[in-house]
Structure 1
Amino acid sequence: MKTDFNFIAYLIYLPIIMLLTWYVAHTLFKNGKVFMLDIFSGKVDIALSTNKLFETGFYLLNLGFAFKIMEVTSIIENGRSLLEILSAKIGGFAIYLGIMLFFNLYLFFRGRKASRAKNVATH
């Protein structure tokens, strides 16, 4: 019986990208609460709700992209090819997640700067 390396690739890829996405989202939005509280001047309800909405969007966008790029178009013949394809796919997705992380941090800092400018103008 021939081993179906393509199916094994999917079985390895899916849990890794889901765990990686969860870890980045969990870390980002756990620490993002501080920014949201600052941006919304301590209004806890709106800050936490906004943070949760950003987190939900982060999951949808990143998991959606991960599922979109999941397809392996060639037949994987051996373990070496399996590792090479998985490393390219997971590595590329990790780079994408890193870019998304920094983009979200940029948004947090931009919101914080706008909030502080607004507070200075009103006082």
Structure 2
Amino acid sequence: MQPSFNFFAYMIYLPVVTAVTWLVAYTLFKNSKVFMLDIFHGNQELAAATNKLFETGFYLLNIGFAFWIMKIAETISNPRSMMEILSGRIGGFFIWLGIMLFLNLYLFFRGRRISKSKTKPLPIVS
């Protein structure tokens, strides 16, 4: 009976997707504070609270998705197969994470644009 590499694959997959999710979230939400302050016209408390809620949702959505796609149905019998399966799983998750990053950036820019349009002074008509 050959040893299964499935357990080792999970032990590699989980820390990698968790660490990369944390790194992306940390970078995104550290830098999004500026957008939130601009959107909420300098109201630091509202900007910080909204930023934290976005961050929490980002973690829940992405870690949840990582766990959802984690299942490896076939028995992995050698290191090569394990690396091939892991590259597909982790690579697919990274693509998802990139899409979610750009979705969040879109929401920040959209919020900023809407905020700016609501505060524009009315033109003076002579």
Percent identity, please: 63
Counterpart-to-counterpart distance in 2, 1:40 and 1:86 = 42
Q: What SS is found at the alignment partner of 1:120? A: coil
Offset at 1:108?
Answer: 0.2
Alignment match, 1:82: 82
Q: Structure 1's 58 and 115: CA in aligned 2 closer, same or farther, altered over 3 A?
A: same
Counterpart-to-counterpart distance in 2, 1:56 and 1:22 = 11
Q: String of CA shifts for 1:71-93, please: whole Å, max 9, x gaps.
A: 00011010000000000000000
How many pairs are equivalent? 123
Amino acid paired to 2:98: G
Q: What SS is found at the alignment partner of 2:96? A: helix
Offset at 1:2?
Answer: 4.2
Q: What SS is found at the alignment partner of 1:41? A: coil
Matched, 1:34 2:54: no
Alignment match, 1:112: 112
Amino acid paired to 1:40: F
Counterpart-to-counterpart distance in 2, 1:25 and 1:121 = 36
Alignment match, 1:57: 57
Counterpart-to-counterpart distance in 2, 1:92 and 1:122 = 48
- Kept in 1: contact 2:2–2:77 (CA 8 A): no
Q: CA RMSD in A?
A: 1.4
Alignment match, 2:22: 22
Alignment of 1:91-106 (within 5 A): 91-106=91-106
- Would you identify which runs of 4 or more consecutive aligned residues in structure 1 move more than 4 Å? none
Counterpart-to-counterpart distance in 2, 1:122 and 1:46 = 26
Q: Which one has a bigger Cα radius of gyration?
A: 2
Amino acid paired to 1:94: F
Counterpart-to-counterpart distance in 1, 2:15 and 2:122 = 49
Alignment match, 2:71: 71
More helix per residue: 1
Return 5+ residue gaps in structure 2 as ranges.
Answer: none
Q: TM-score, normalization: structure 1?
A: 0.96
Counterpart-to-counterpart distance in 1, 2:101 and 2:41 = 23
Offset at 1:4?
Answer: 2.5
